[in-house]
């Protein structure tokens, strides 16, 4: 086992410890960015001037009326920017735009003594707009050819030959919804300038180094003149990877111009209408199977709704393409990716970062095609699992295909699948108006940033004379437990009790040039960097201890805060060891660094090995559906998930549970709606609050929820043998959607295929039930106002893009 993976005697990692801020969270003592204004003197409040048009050119901006409002101090406009008027990394996101690109676009910011004065001042600003035509829906953008960014193509094998060799060929399309992050804490920043003109920004950001970079270029400064700190976030889910930069820049610009601290904090409606979402996608596909139901070829085009600017759309589409295969070997594939430009908020990272969108395409295909092939969906999936020696469509070998089968078998055992399916059959036979179904889906999710340069992490570890330890690292805490794991890694590496270690807030002047806490790589990168720094310190201290103990340094072990030499009864307490090292002028601080090895990626050819390893998991979900309304409940969920050798089991189980529920929300509940009419409010987000946008709550939780971490699953070459856990569990929720599909199908004749909208709301399930009762294939699309509408198709009728069996290639499917 490698030095990075090997665990020492009596490690602190692996223990089920509580979240390091749990007590602060539940008592309300935890401080977030906006809480800091109460500890800051003379704060000005910023409020956006939003233009309520989907698209238009600004012909006049009159700020004078705002300055007449009592309490208003200044109105920030593009003329105030000393550097680059842009908040994005692609230089396509003007901070103060002269063209409105979505309904609610902020074109100026008002600074005032109170938030109410700032609001009134913003309402007083006069903006004249020459309204332009707008594209709101993905379909409108595709029809208009409104695309931007890269158009990657992933190609493997001979696609035409694969289809020629297929006994069954099906074509179809799928459009699925975007998703709002709905973190508890909205976007927030607090900035001030000190006596040396150093700009200090507190920001709720997943990427402090990039926030620092954007603030610096907006202000026309160098990065060493800007410090960004993230104390903690009240949720992020990817929504705070790129989008906080502009809000931090507004606060910093205001502080620089007024000499006073400036606070930006969006209310919920502003956050919903101004910040990006998960990318909705449209997919057109053609798939071929052999006579035994094994995939022979896949040809698909995936189009993401990027919104008005690129943001992270290009890497999101790249990751979607890299995850179209999920757990299935596809020998011949041609997958094309595109980004549609619409007049909506700029869509951005969201837990899974394109992976869920890519996987949903293949899981939807498997669920739709199984009855057409005369196969049980579980059997169809099992037949197509990766096997040893096979590689992904982009050329990366799948080195642990046995784990795909291992988690699948274990979840079937844990869930008692065979017995429960018999019980479900009996229940369905006895209940004509209520049906139950049980489905299993698995996942294979690549861990690492697709952009190789981001796969690096840094840390700074300090040991003080009294033996206490302070660690700094480049990752940010958004409730996911990263800081807890870093404390455990440091205590384990140094060989001391957990209470000896404390963690400092993430700051760019302690650890520079860090990557975003994203891609599920936070623990891998920062944990390895913390371990590296602690190893440097431990080796120095072992030299000191060896002299005191009369041993060789290589024979000294530090365990539970006591240093001992092998074969010796003498020992030296940690505090005494540290004090001795200080007196001997031994350096008691170390900077750690880690770069993920073995990665290579060619974005032009779409080939390489972009991932360090794959995380695996499987979930079995049972649902019950009401045939009159389409309403449903999740009766039971069983999950087996591969987190390697867990660093912190309580944290990991919580991540699995939370990720699964968030995924179920995306697939079944969360339904963003925009006004797509031609009236004055065209482009307006209609679901602007929790009253109209439904996120999962306790009532949506499974009545029985069982999560098991795969045992004996240590990952070679990862910090203490662990695996990433943040994003992969979200995709286990495909099991809920597939169970709903099968429950709807149970209302119709045996073998009927069912198409299901995403999100599979009760309304969508109702239409699927109606189609199943008629024995056909249901297609749920969207009407112009965004509401669900029923379509209907049978095999052989595909003019509208619905699933069909290709008559020329199908053998009676």
Tell me which H or E stretch contains 254. helix 244-258
Name which of 674, 729, 630 is nearest 177 in CA terms.
Answer: 674
CA pair distance 402, 760, nearest whole angstrom: 32
The sheet that has 226-230: what strands, in order across it? 72-76, 105-112, 44-51, 262-265, 188-193, 199-203, 226-230, 506-507
Nearest residue to 606 via CA among 264, 210, 154, 216: 154
- Cα separation, 665 vs 670, in Å, equals 6
What is residue 728's three-state secondary structure? helix
Give which of 79, 66, 98, 103 is closest to 686, Cα–Cα: 103
Taking a C-beta distance cutoff of 8 angstroms, is the pair 180, 264 a contact?
Answer: no
Instruction: Give me the phi and psi of 399, to 5 degrees please.
Output: -85, -20
Query: Strands, DSSP E only, in 372-497?
Result: 434-447, 456-463, 469-473
Strand pairing class (704-709; 632-641): parallel
**Is 202 in contact with 35 (CB distance < 8 Å)?**
no
CA torsion 753-803-672-631 (nearest 10°) is -10
Beta-sheet strand order (sheet of 556-559): 556-559, 562-565, 571-573
Residue 520 token pair: 């599920």
- How far apart CA 392 and CA 397 sit, in angstroms, is 6
Region of 285 on the Ramachandran plot (φ > 0 left; ψ -120 to 50 alpha; else beta):
beta
How many residues comprise the chain?
A: 813
d(CA 696, CA 688): 16
Residue 172 to residue 261: CA distance in whole angstroms: 55
Q: Which of 213, 477, 727, 738 is catalytic?
A: 727
CB 315 within 8 A of CB 172: no
Q: Does residue 363 have an active-site annotation?
A: no
For residues 76 and 249, give the distance between their C-alpha atoms in angstroms, rounded to a whole number.
Answer: 11
Burial class (CB in 10 A: 0-12, 13-18, 19+), 800: exposed
SS3 413: helix
The rounded distance, in Å, linking the Cα atoms of 695 and 277 is 14
The DSSP letter of residue 3 is T
Closest CA to 454 of 535, 524, 546, 367: 524
d(CA 228, CA 209): 7
- Exposure string of 461-474, with b = 16+ CB inside 10 Å and e = fewer, is bbbeeebebbbbbb
Distance (Å, whole) CA 471 – CA 461: 4
Distance in angstroms (rounded) separating the CA atoms of residues 807 and 813? 9
Location of structure tokens 């779409």:
606
77's tokens: 């406009």
Give 6's contacts (C-beta < 8 A, 6+ positions apart).
720, 721
Q: How far apart are CA 765 and CA 762, in angstroms?
A: 5
Q: For residue 634, what are the contacts with CB-CB under 8 A and spacing of at least 6?
A: 621, 622, 623, 664, 700, 701, 702, 703, 736
Q: Which residues are catalytic?
A: 727
């Amino acid at each position: 086992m490698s030095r990075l993976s090997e665990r020492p005697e009596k490690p602190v990692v692996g223990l089920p410890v509580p979240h390091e801020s749990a007590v602060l969270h539940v008592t309300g003592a935890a401080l977030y960015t906006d809480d800091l204004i109460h500890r800051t003197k003379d704060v000005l409040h910023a409020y956006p001037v939003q233009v309520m048009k989907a698209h238009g050119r600004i012909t006049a901006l009159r700020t004078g009326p705002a300055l007449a409002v009592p309490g208003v101090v200044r109105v920030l406009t593009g003329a105030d920017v000393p550097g680059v008027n842009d908040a994005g990394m692609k230089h396509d996101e003007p901070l103060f735009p002269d063209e409105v690109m979505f309904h609610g676009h902020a074109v100026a910011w008002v600074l005032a003594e109170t938030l109410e004065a700032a609001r009134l001042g913003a309402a007083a600003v006069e903006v004249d707009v020459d309204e332009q035509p707008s594209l709101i829906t993905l379909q409108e953008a595709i029809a208009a050819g409104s695309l931007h960014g890269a158009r990657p193509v992933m190609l493997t094998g001979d696609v035409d030959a694969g289809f020629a060799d297929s006994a069954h060929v099906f074509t179809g399309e799928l459009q699925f919804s975007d998703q709002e992050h709905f973190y508890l804490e909205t976007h927030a920043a607090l900035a001030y300038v000190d006596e040396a003109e150093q700009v200090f920004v507190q920001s709720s950001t997943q990427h402090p180094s990039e926030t620092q970079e954007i603030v610096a270029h907006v202000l026309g400064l160098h990065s060493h003149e800007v410090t960004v700190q993230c104390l903690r976030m009240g949720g992020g889910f990817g929504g705070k990877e790129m989008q906080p930069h502009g809000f931090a820049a507004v606060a910093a610009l205001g502080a620089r111009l007024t000499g006073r601290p400036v606070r930006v904090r969006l209310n919920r409606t502003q956050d919903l209408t101004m910040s990006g979402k998960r990318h909705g996608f449209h997919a057109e596909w053609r798939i071929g199977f052999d006579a035994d139901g094994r995939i022979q070829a896949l040809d698909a085009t995936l189009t993401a709704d990027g919104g008005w600017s690129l943001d992270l759309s290009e890497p999101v589409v790249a990751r979607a393409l890299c995850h179209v295969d999920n757990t299935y070997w596809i020998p011949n594939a041609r997958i094309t990716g595109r980004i549609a430009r619409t007049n909506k908020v700029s869509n951005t990272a969201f837990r899974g970062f394109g992976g869920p969108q890519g996987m949903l395409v293949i899981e939807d295909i498997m669920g739709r095609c199984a009855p057409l092939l005369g196969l049980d969906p579980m059997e169809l999936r099992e037949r197509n699992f990766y096997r040893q020696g096979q590689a992904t469509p982009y050329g990366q070998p799948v080195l642990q295909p046995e784990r795909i089968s291992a988690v699948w078998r274990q979840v079937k055992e844990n869930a008692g699948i065979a017995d429960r399916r018999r019980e479900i059959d009996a229940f369905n036979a006895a209940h004509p108006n209520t049906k139950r179904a049980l489905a299993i889906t698995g996942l294979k999710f690549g861990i690492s940033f697709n952009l190789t340069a981001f796969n690096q992490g840094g840390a700074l570890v300090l040991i003080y004379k009294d033996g206490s330890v302070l660690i700094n690292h480049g990752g940010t805490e958004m409730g996911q437990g990263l800081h807890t794991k870093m404390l455990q890694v440091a205590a384990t590496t140094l060989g001391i009790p957990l209470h000896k270690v404390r963690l400092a807030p993430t700051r760019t002047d302690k650890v520079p040039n860090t990557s975003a806490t994203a891609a599920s790589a936070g623990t891998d990168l920062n944990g390895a960097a913390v371990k590296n720094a602690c190893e440097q310190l431990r080796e120095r201290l072992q030299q000191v201890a060896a002299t005191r103990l009369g041993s060789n340094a290589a024979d000294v072990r530090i365990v539970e805060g006591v240093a001992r030499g092998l074969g010796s009864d003498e020992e030296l307490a940690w505090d005494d060891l540290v004090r001795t090292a200080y007196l001997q002028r031994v350096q008691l601080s170390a900077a750690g660094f880690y770069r993920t090895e073995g990665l290579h990626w060619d974005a032009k050819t779409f080939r390489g090995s972009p991932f360090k390893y794959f995380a695996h998991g499987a979930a079995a979900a049972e649902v019950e559906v009401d045939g009159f309304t389409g309403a449903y409940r999740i009766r039971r969920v069983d999950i087996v998930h591969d987190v390697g050798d867990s660093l912190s089991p309580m944290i990991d189980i919580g991540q699995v549970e939370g990720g699964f529920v968030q995924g179920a929300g995306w697939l079944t509940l969360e339904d963003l709606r925009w006004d797509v009419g031609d009236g004055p409010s065209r482009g307006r987000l209609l679901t602007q609050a929790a009253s109209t946008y439904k996120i999962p709550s306790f009532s949506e939780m499974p009545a029985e929820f069982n999560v098991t971490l795969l045992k004996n699953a240590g990952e070679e070459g990862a910090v203490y043998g662990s695996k990433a856990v943040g994003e992969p569990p979200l995709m286990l929720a495909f099991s809920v959607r597939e169970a709903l599909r099968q429950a709807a199908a149970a209302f119709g004749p045996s073998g009927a295929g069912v198409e299901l909208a995403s999100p599979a709301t009760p309304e969508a399930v109702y239409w699927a039930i109606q189609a199943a009762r008629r024995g056909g294939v249901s297609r749920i699309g969207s009407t112009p106002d965004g509401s669900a509408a029923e379509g209907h198709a049978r095999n052989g009728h595909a003019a509208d893009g619905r699933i069909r069996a290709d008559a020329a290639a199908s053998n009676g499917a």
